[in-house]
Structure 1
Amino acid sequence: MLFCLTANHRNTGFDVLDRISRAADSTGADVLAAHGFVRGAVVLATCNRFETYLELDEPVTGGVVLAREAVLEAVAATTGTDAEALRESAVVLSGDDVVRHLFAVSSGLESMVVGEEEISGQVQRALRAAREAGTSSTELEQAFQRAARATRDVRAKADLAAAGRSLARLALDLADSRVTDWATVPVLLVGTGHYAATTIAALQARGADDVRVYSATGRADNFAARYGVRAEHDLREAIRAAQIVLTCTARYTVGPQDIPDERPRLIFDLGLPRNVEPAVGAIPGVELLDLELIGRHAALAELGAGAHEVVGSAVATFHAERAAAPAIVAWRTHVASVLDSELGRLREDDDRTAAALRHLAGVLSHGPTVRAREFAAEGRLDEFERALETVFGVEIAARLSAVDDERAAG
């Protein structure tokens, strides 16, 4: 069974999200190591959400409650009292609701800026991080991989009136009223991650010519060469030359000591955890806009009438494929068994005949596989399974298990 605990911009304060995001690297592994009923864990931490996805053993008595406490314990180990704030605000989902939520998140339907582009990449990076940490699982892999496909379907089929927007672009929209000519405004990016690349494109679209980048990791030179901007190696001096500063980095926090003077500056903090200390906003001349303030200006309109329908269709397809899997496996196993028997009759050097038989087996397998998924989507999978048993004598593992359970209960 799938489980999700989600804390996001809609239900949790940004100050809490800021602090609990620091638990992202350890939460999944801690939950998996401490609780035997957890098969896998993926943690998604972005600039406006903290979500833990788990695969649980089924059935587990009170599994959802146990999983919720397991996540809160793991967060508490890193952030202390914020786990209690999370207990009051975070939402818990289980079963089919998790898949629908994940698909909607990946498609940008649950973002602070509806339709943002970055979230789908963040979802897939969360899965890769879980793989590297050894915390992923079969069901989580299937759900996250299908989420990527659902995202592509939403963008291809839905009316994406808000497509192409992101937090970085929204920040620049807010800056437009303060900028007469972008070509004359020196802009500094602190960080070289995915938001930085998006911001470069948005700045260039506005005609910005003086764009500079600083990275605490030493990546500024390569990034600057790739995007045609100027690399800076001293943050304080880089800020001295800038009128607009945008930060999104996990490597550095801008503090009052980094602000060299009291000249007017507009600073956007797009990071979580915070990239700019709140005290910076108190410096004369500095106007600091953080995620909480930016979020108040984020449009909450739907992507389009068809977006949620596309997600719903993708969820239905996912569940149909999972339901049909035992029948498909049984059918393909049957075909493979027949194929192996026939191949055993051939001479060892009869490669052309063997290749032809394998091709034939593949053709024969394809049609019933497609029909199994179609019948599952229509709620008629039992008809398909009975047909396999009647015509080919193929027994379905899931049906056999259900029969055994009924006998045991009787």
Structure 2
Amino acid sequence: MIFTLGLNHHSAPLAIRERVAFGADKLQHALADLTRNRPVKEVAILSTCNRTEIYCAAESPEVVIDWLAQFHQVERNELAPYLYTHDQPDAVRHAFRVASGLDSMVIGEPQILGQMKDAVRAAEESGTLGTQLHKLFQRSFSVAKEVRTTTAIGANIVSMAAAGVHLAERIFPSIAGQNVLFIGAGEMIELCAAHFCAQKPKQVTIANRTVERGRALAEQYGGSAIRLDELAEHLPRHDIVVSCTASPLPIIGLGMVERAIKARRHRPMFMVDLAVPRDIEPEVGELDDVFLYTVDDLAQVVASGLESRQAAVVEAEGIIGERVREFLGWLQSRETVPVIRGLRDAAERMRRHEMEHALKLLAKGENPEKVLEQLSQRLTNKFLHAPTQTLNLAEGEDRSQLQTAASRLFHLHPDAH
């Protein structure tokens, strides 16, 4: 049975989401730990700034919920109000909707697809992605492609990066006159850099743990790169700060920002924290001269573009519904695999036994034509013995059902009865 459980921006506030986020450095260990000595056959973990979800093939989701709370050292009753659990077919539908961007904070955004593929890659490398989940995710990716190419779900998309620029323009008359600092060099920062730098800011700086990677991004926009441990020194010179790293703890504290504001003589500073867990201590937002926005704050901006995409959403849901039915059909067909394998194994044993018997007769000099005739008769009798006996011994409704099944299985016509 396939289950999905987790929490996202719809069900849980940021303060809860950041407590159960899985950093890239913890993911492999988490996958191995969950499948060790637990009745969980397959598992993949999707952890982004907006969601933490566990996709698994297991008998029950309860053991996974207990593990999630234990792994992050959070009381289960603290998580319970925010957790959702989906089993078949809802788990399949949920995976298709997430991949297609229908469950995102920004409807139709394409970034989630890449994050889902990263989650699958991590599960493959950990050896926790079995047949069912592999098929589920491959179908999810093909459904996402179909939705994106046949509907207008991604048209005129309002991204988180564009929303950040929109908010910054409320604070400053023009971004062109401002110094912008990006912290991190991942995909989200790359998107934000593209949007902010399109406004031609005065100066661009990239702060990253790996300076080489930061420098590569900075050079695209004529900027410079610094190390993360140089933040305190450089922060006062920047008017706009956008941060998104994988750090498990805040990298910009209240004291650092207070000193920066003092050095800036209280000129306003606009800060966007897109990380989960947060990169910037929440208390920073209480300072008079700081405008701090989180991913949840940006959601209010992007929601305004939702109405224009509603028609595409309805169309996409129709596609997903049809593909869910197809996938459930595939899952059900897998239930007959052991029976088919058993049937073929039994037939193969009969064939080998009769073949050996026929070869012995031929070795004795028996007439080949007579041996072949006998071989075919003995095989036919052996193949049909069990179903014929079962039909003869059946009574009432059971006999009627078996007769119908036999007609379908052996493609019998009415006049063959």
1:83-106 deviation line (CA, Å, top 9, x unaligned): 322222211100121111011011
* Match of residue 245 from structure 2: 249
Q: Which residue of structure 2 aligns with residue 350 of structure 1?
A: none
User: Higher mean Cα deviation, 294-303 or 82-91?
Assistant: 294-303
Q: Match for residue 369 of structure 2?
A: none
2:29 is aligned with 1:33: no
Aligned residue type for 1:38: V
Taking structure 1 as reference, are residues 312 and 238 closer, same or farther at Cα in structure 2, changes over 3 Å only? farther
Residue pairs, 1:355-366, within 5 angstroms: none
Where structure 1 has 5 or more consecutive residues not aligned to the other structure, the ranges are 57-62, 338-382, 392-410
Aligned match of 1:318: 327
How many Å apart are 1:288 and its aligned residue? 1.0
RMSD: 3.1
Aligned: 1:90 with 2:83? yes
Q: Which 10-residue stretch deviates more, 230-239 or 92-101?
A: 230-239
Whole-Å separation in 2 of the counterparts to 1:75 and 1:327: 33
Deviation, structure 1 residue 143: 0.8
- Alpha-carbon distance, 1:22 to partner: 4.2
**For residues 172-216 of structure 1, what are the alpha-carbon distances to aligned partners after superposition, in whole Å with 9 as ceiling and x for unaligned?**
222222232222221111111110111122223434453221102
The 8 Å contact of residues 270 and 292 in structure 2, kept in 1 or not, is answered as yes
Choose from 204, 208, 214 the match for 1:220: 214
Say whether 1:12 aligns with 2:9: no
Residue 158 in 1 paired to residue 151 in 2?
yes
Following superposition, the deviation at residue 161 of structure 1 comes to 5.7
1:292-321 Cα offsets, whole Å, 9 max, x none, are 322333315435431212222332333344
Identity %: 29
Matched residue, 2:363: none
Q: Does the residue aligned with 1:249 lie in a helix, a strand or coil?
A: coil
SS of match in other structure, 1:206: coil
Shift of 1:72: 2.4
How far apart are 1:82 and its partner, in Å?
A: 4.4
Work out whether residues 35 and 43 of structure 2, in 8 Å CA contact, stay in contact via their aligned partners in 1.
yes
Q: Contact 1:28–1:52 (CA<8 Å) still a contact in 2?
A: no
Q: Which residue of 1 aligns with 2:397?
A: none
Q: Tell me the alpha carbon deviations over residues 223-250 of structure 1, each in whole angstroms, 9 at most, x when there is no partner.
A: 3235654322321233222111111111
2-structure distance, mates of 1:154, 1:207? 35
CA–CA distance in structure 1, aligned partners of residues 313 and 288 of structure 2: 43
Aligned to 1:270: 274
Q: Is the 8 A contact 2:148 2:154 kept in 1?
A: no
Does the 8 Å CA contact 2:171/2:270 hold for their aligned counterparts?
no
How much does 1:171 deviate? 2.0
1:389 & 1:246 partners in 2: Cα distance?
67
Map Cα deviations across residues 364-404 of structure 1 (whole Å, 9 max, x no partner). xxxxxxxxxxxxxxxxxxx9x9878549xxxxxxxxxxxxx
**Alignment partners' CA distance in 1, 2:22 and 2:251:** 14
Counting only pairs closer than 5 Å after superposition, residues 40-189 of structure 1 correspond to structure 2 as 40-56=42-58, 63-64=59-60, 67-68=61-62, 70-160=63-153, 164-189=157-182
Query: Does residue 240 of structure 1 match 2:236?
Result: yes
1:231 equivalent among 203, 225, 229? 225
Distance 1:40 1:318 in 2: 17
The amino acid across from 1:245 in the alignment is V
Larger Rg: 2
- Inter-partner Cα distance in structure 1 for 2:160 and 2:99: 15
Letter in 2 for 1:261: A
Alignment partners' CA distance in 2, 1:280 and 1:109: 33
Indicate the SS of the match to 1:305.
Answer: helix
What is the CA–CA distance in structure 2 between the aligned matches of 1:386 and 1:127, rounded to whole Å?
Answer: 43
231-240 or 22-31: bigger deviation: 22-31
Contact kept in structure 1, 2:7 and 2:53, CA below 8 Å:
yes
Partners of 2:72 and 2:332 lie apart in 1 by: 40
Give the corresponding residue for 1:379: none
1:315-364 CA-to-partner distances (Å, cap 9, x unmatched) read: 23333445567899989xx9xx9xxxxxxxxxxxxxxxxxxxxxxxxxxx
2: CA distance, partners of 1:386 / 1:101: 39
Which amino acid in the other structure matches residue 29 of structure 1? A
Which consecutive residues of structure 2, in runs of 5 or more, have no partner in the other structure? 262-266, 349-403, 413-417
**Kindly tell me: are residues 238 and 149 of structure 1, through their superposed partners in 2, closer, same or farther at Cα, counting changes over 3 Å?**
farther
Aligned partner letter, 1:232: I
Q: Cα distance 1:84–1:168, how it changes in 2: closer, same or farther (>3 A)?
A: farther
Please state whether the residue corresponding to 2:41 is helix, strand or coil.
Answer: strand
Q: In the alignment, residue 296 of structure 1 is paired with which amino acid? A: Q
Tell me how far apart the structure 2 counterparts of residues 212 and 162 of structure 1 sit (CA, whole Å): 31
Number of residue equivalences? 333
Structure 1 residue 288 and structure 2 residue 292: aligned? yes
8 A Cα contact 2:204 2:221, kept in partner? no
Return the letter of the residue paired with 1:256. Answer: L
